[in-house]
Amino acid sequence: MALRYALLATLNETPATGYDVTQRFRERLANVWPASHQQIYKELGRLHDEGLVSMQALPQAGKPDRKRYAVTDAGVAALISWLQQPQPFPPVRSPMLVKLFAGDLLDDAALAREIDHARSQWQPTLNRYREIEQAYFNEPGRLPRHFRLQHLALRRGIVAVEAALDWLDELEAFAAAADSD
């Protein structure tokens, strides 16, 4: 459900084609609400059917026509009304925790591999987030409101991944102790 509002939000900043929007999702929404081009095109079609966005075809030679979407008044209204309502929290579903739940069928070696794998995913993610923070949000106090909100969204990613890595340290301490038995 949130996908359509993410779409309305970007298009509200600047009208764009499905292709452009897909780029934006890759670059700036990947850690908020990832979506593939297939899903984006489908949802843009629906939004258009419902009159929440307008569409203008821009003819091209040799390629499919570009379709430029812009939010309509009804679209802005729908987005604002969604923003007013507190949203439910997505449930946690973690394959890694399912593994811990399997208990003694999970041997020490497999656990160690899983820990390494997790670290190899999260550490680079944290580094990337911190680089972005350095580069774009160095003086948050001076930024206009919508940039500060984006910074806070990034902060959410940072604290979450830091917590994940702290927990990995706990888990590794346990695994190392078990190893030396």
Binding site for a copy of itself (CB under 8 A): 1-2, 5-6, 9-10, 12-13, 28-29, 31-34, 76, 79-80, 83-84, 86-107, 110, 113-114, 117-118, 121, 145-146, 148-150, 152-153, 155-157, 159-160, 162-164, 166-167, 170-171, 174, 178
State how far the Cα of 87 lies from the Cα of 1, in Å rounded to an integer: 10
Closest CB to DNA among 109 and 153? Answer: 153
CB of 40 to DNA, least distance (A): 9
State the Rg of the chain over Cα. 21
Q: Are 94 and 84 in contact (CB under 8 A)?
A: no
Q: What are the Cα distances from residue 40, in Å, to 23, 121, 131? A: 11, 26, 28
From candidates 31, 39, 54, 150, binder to DNA by CB under 7 A? 39
Q: Are 38 and 5 in contact (CB under 8 A)?
A: no
CB of 10 to a copy of itself, least distance (A): 8
Name, in order, each residue with C-beta under 8 angstroms of 83's C-beta and a sequence gap of 6 or more: 5
- In eight-state DSSP terms, residue 90 is P
Site for DNA in 81-140 (CB under 7 A): 91, 93
CB of 42 to a copy of itself, least distance (A): 17
From a copy of itself, DNA, none, interface partner of 171 (C-beta below 5 to 8 A by class):
a copy of itself
Query: Which tokens in the block code for residue 121?
Result: 């995913």
Closest CB to a copy of itself among 29 and 52? Answer: 29
Sign of the Cα pseudo-torsion (129, 135, 138, 141, in order): negative
Residues that bind DNA (CB under 7 A): 1-3, 17-20, 22-23, 34-39, 41-42, 44-45, 60-67, 91, 93
